[in-house]
Structure 1
Amino acid sequence: MDSIDLRILSALQEDGRLSNQDLADRVGLSPSPCLRRVRALEKDGVIARYTAIVSPEKVGLPLTVFVQIRLARHDGDTVRAFEDRILGMDEVLSCHLMTGDSDYLLNIVTENLQSYERFMRDKLHAIPGIGAIETSFAFGVIKDSRRLPIHPAS
């Protein structure tokens, strides 16, 4: 990747709905080469996908919960079963494999404490092989970004 590719990525992270013409203008290219570069970045998996960032509060999901999971066993079947079940849970926005005291860190959104309790009882506790669960509730957001720190040369 060269500095033009980095400028393209930076501009698209700022506004993924830019038209090709506007993007080309921002990065100093004509539209055809700009589109070729974007398509190459998509093909190479550098641009993984395009999405809308939705406000959780505006759609009735104001409660953010971070859950640390420690498995009781670390055999292949237990790990696969846990990860497969988590993949099917819409409430789980992200699941990270961790080092340290916990095996996994989950980021969960839900409507309220009652819906979180139902999620815990009906879904999370139903997964075999979990040894410990530790829950932390977020009561504020200081920064929430998916923008990578790409700093192209000007």
Structure 2
Amino acid sequence: MLDEIDSRLLAEVQKDATLTSDALGTRLGLSASQAGRRRQRLEAEGYITGYAARVSPDRLGLNVQAFVQVQMASHDPKAAQAFAGLVALRPEIISAWTLTGEADYLLRVWCADLPGLNRLIHQVLLPHPSVSRVQSQIVMDQFKPDAPLPT
């Protein structure tokens, strides 16, 4: 069970994963060793699953973000496994979800440009034997950046 200090610790490391135990302790009103032990416990218990840097898509030349809905022609487990394997190999697909409703999958993609998105859809996704339909929505603006989880 998380107490109030654990919740605050999770909020702080989601804002800045590079915090030292000393800085984290200062923010939480704990000693550095107490803060470090709490963070280690939360990591061991699976509350903290990893640390990552946020990288600027613009600086990498990635100018088009899109959400791509994929409807499968077959719901055979082997077809789903093959599609998941394809998704795993494509670096421009940065996350994927299985959905309820009309679409079976939702893919979040980043491409350098519209021709790159077109190639992904028409040369990679649509030719896959288990895909029947692809629909994309191009992101015009992300006015709320990916936020920390509520704690």
The question of a shared fold, defined as TM-score above 0.5 by the shorter chain, is answered with: yes
Residue 108 (structure 1) aligned with residue 97 (structure 2): no
Given that residues 126 and 133 in structure 2 are in contact (C-alpha distance below 8 angstroms), is that contact kept between their aligned partners in structure 1? Answer: no
Residue deviations 1:125-151, cap 9 Å, x none?
Answer: 34220011011111111112141122x
| C-alpha contact 2:126 2:132 (8 A) present in aligned 1 | no
Tell me the residue number matched to 1:62. 63
Note the C-alpha offset of 1:97: 0.7
Against the structure 1 CA distance between its residues 53 and 71, is the aligned structure 2 distance closer, same or farther, given a 3 Å change threshold?
A: same
1:20 aligns with 2:21: yes
**3-state SS of 2:46 partner:** coil
Which structure would you say has the larger RCO, counting Cα contacts within 8 Å and 6 or more residues apart? 1
TM-score scaled by length of structure 1 = 0.92
Tell me if 1:72 matches 2:73.
Answer: yes
TM-score, with length taken from structure 2: 0.94
Instruction: Write the deviation string for residues 50-99 of structure 1: whole angstroms up to 9, x where unpaired.
Output: 11111111210010011100000101111111112111111011101111
* Preserved CA contact (<8 Å) 2:121 2:134: no
Q: 2:43 & 2:118 partners in 1: Cα distance?
A: 40
Gaps of at least 5 residues in structure 1 are: none
CA RMSD of aligned residues (A): 1.2
- Which contiguous aligned blocks of 4+ residues in structure 1 show a shift greater than 6 angstroms? none
* Percent identity between the two aligned chains: 33
